[in-house]
Amino acid sequence: MSRKQQLLKRHRRNKRVGLLLALIVLVLLGVALAWWLPLVLAVLGWIAHEAWFADHLFYSPKDDYQYSFPPFTQQPKVHLNAGRLRLDEGVILDDGATLVLALRVKSTWLGRFLDPVVELSGGEHPDRQTFERGVNGLRYLNLSEQGDVLSRGDLRLRGRFCRLLGEPKLWSFAPADVQRQRTMVIAPHADDAELAAYGLYSQADETWIVTLTAGEIEAEHYQQMGLDRVEAARLKGRLRAWDSIAVPRWAGVPESRCVQLGYFCLQLAAMQAAPSQPQGSREADLSDTRLFRQLNPFVLPGDADGAPTWNNLLADLRELLLKARPEVLVLPHPTLDPHPDHLCAHHAVMQALEGLEWQPGILLGYANHLHDNDRWPMGDAGTGIALPPFFDPARPMHPVSLPLTLAAQRDKAMALGMMHDLQPQAPFKRRLRRRIQRLLAGRTGSAYGENEFFRKAVRRHELFWWL
């Protein structure tokens, strides 16, 4: 069982215990006071839960994030006085550097009910970065677009529903030469490349998109059209295979450099455990990947028998790495992203690289999911991305933040909108929760689309980690 599954299991157990205790209290109140009182209190309690306590947050907002950064990372001296952040005299920042500011953020009483926000102002790129309700700990702001205004001494920090405490610390990571190169993005599923790296890959001199799975499971939306479970899964897989080939064209990537490997969703871990044993689809009644590989521009080793095995996956990846010879390789981060297919995708790529005659110069990790906080990146679409929760100081982390213009954000949103998996309407309970949160907690959705990824992924930064 993964760490996230363990955390979710504990969260659900604690919620059941809390509900049982609340039920006992309500029954006692009904007996002692009035029969209708428990009904009113139950409704009010449910509304309060949906508005303020429904986030999946598997740590205390009072916990300090615990980052360590690589040795010899530059630490320019800064001071925060009356809301203005200033560098020590004579300090010069590198153009394009990734800038990370650590400081203590403490929510006000109102910040327990409304999302605490740190506002950055004074320059051409005002920003808002959002943290957990009830936050009271060390947090890390992303100042990567603020280098010029910080150098001028004009950068202002203001807490909304929170206060900024203590002496801040600034880290400056040298500019990463990752743009305008030959780039390959590894996507466990169709849409992962766009969620994590649309801005990066749309600017590359040459881009390859390699999608590992068809993403055919959880096809209830298609069953509502009258298809049975198998037919729905096959249709969904074919649609997502199409998405993985066609949507990158929006960014100018030719179909000749987009590849769908067609392995089956949530079966990569089983394939890895028994490398030569085929692992068929859970829902599509298939043990042959070739149905989902028909749009590929060339033949790969796995096409010989279509067997969904780990050995075939490694052979496909080696072939692609040698054909594309990427200078920058973008893949899921093995520590931050807990999705089992994402973790296996990372392991498969690293195993495929072992002993290979071509080695990329730069490996970048991304996280489209987190262990501890399902809402990260917190805040609204179009705002900045602060560093995610992280509690392992023994592992140095090297962030790489790349800016997205408003035009690039809009193009990214349109690319996500073309992805079939992000189009179905959310369940009624989730839509009702969002309405309650909009009214009582001040949260807004994204103008680009209803799916939560339109809020989480369409931001003024794309955040990667040097591997």
Q: Which two tokens stand for residue 336?
A: 């931050």
- Domain parsing of the chain, residue ranges: 3-52, 78-173, 182-466
Q: Are 261 and 314 in contact (CB under 8 A)?
A: no
Q: Please give the backbone phi and psi of residue 398, each rounded to the nearest 5 degrees, phi first.
A: -125, 95
60 contact partners, CB below 8 Å, separation of at least 6: none
Query: Given this model, what pLDDT does residue 157 score?
Result: 98
Instruction: Return the SS3 of 108.
Output: coil
Residue 392 token pair: 């392992």
Q: What is the pLDDT of residue 71?
A: 94
3 state DSSP class of 165: strand
Burial class (CB in 10 A: 0-12, 13-18, 19+), 276: exposed
Sheet (strand 117-121) strand order: 78-81, 84-87, 156-160, 117-121, 127-130
Is the pTM higher than 0.75? The answer reads: yes
Tokens of 390: 């992280």
Distance of CA 295 to the CA centre of its chain: 28
Is the distance from CB of 206 to CB of 182 less than 8 angstroms? yes
The predicted pLDDT at position 46 comes to 83
C-alpha to C-alpha distances, 458 to 13, 118, 127, 394, nearest whole angstrom:
34, 19, 14, 31
Please give the chain's pLDDT, 467 residues, in tens.
Answer: 555 566 667 656 766 766 677 677 666 766 677 777 777 777 888 888 888 988 888 899 999 999 999 999 999 999 999 999 999 988 889 889 999 999 999 999 999 999 999 999 998 889 999 999 999 999 999 999 999 999 999 999 999 999 999 999 999 999 988 988 999 999 999 999 999 999 999 999 999 999 999 999 999 999 999 999 999 999 999 999 999 999 999 999 999 999 999 999 999 999 999 999 999 999 999 999 999 999 999 999 999 999 999 999 999 999 999 999 999 999 999 999 999 999 999 999 999 999 999 999 999 999 999 988 989 999 999 999 999 999 999 999 999 999 999 999 999 999 999 999 999 999 998 999 999 999 999 999 899 999 999 999 999 999 999 99
- Separation between Cα atoms, residue 453 and residue 422, nearest integer Å: 8
Q: Which two tokens stand for residue 456?
A: 């989480």
H/E element, 321: helix 310-324
DSSP string over 270-320: HHHHSTTS----SSS----GGGG-TT-SS--GGGTT----HHHHHHHHHHH
Q: Which amino acid is at 464?
A: F
- Among candidates 126, 178, 163, 112, which has minimal Cα distance to 326? 178
Which is nearest to 173 in space by CA: 60, 93, 258? 93
Cβ(52)–Cβ(113) below 8 Å: yes
The Cα–Cα gap between 233 and 215 comes to 9
| Residue-level pLDDT at 18 | 67
Task: Tell me, rounded to whole angstroms, the distance of Cα 105 from its chain centroid.
Answer: 23
Determine the topology of domain 182-466 in CATH: Rossmann fold (3.40.50)
261, 349, 353: which is closest to 299 by C-alpha?
Answer: 261
* The pLDDT of residue 26: 61
Concatenated DSSP letters of 396-408 = ---EEEEE--HHH
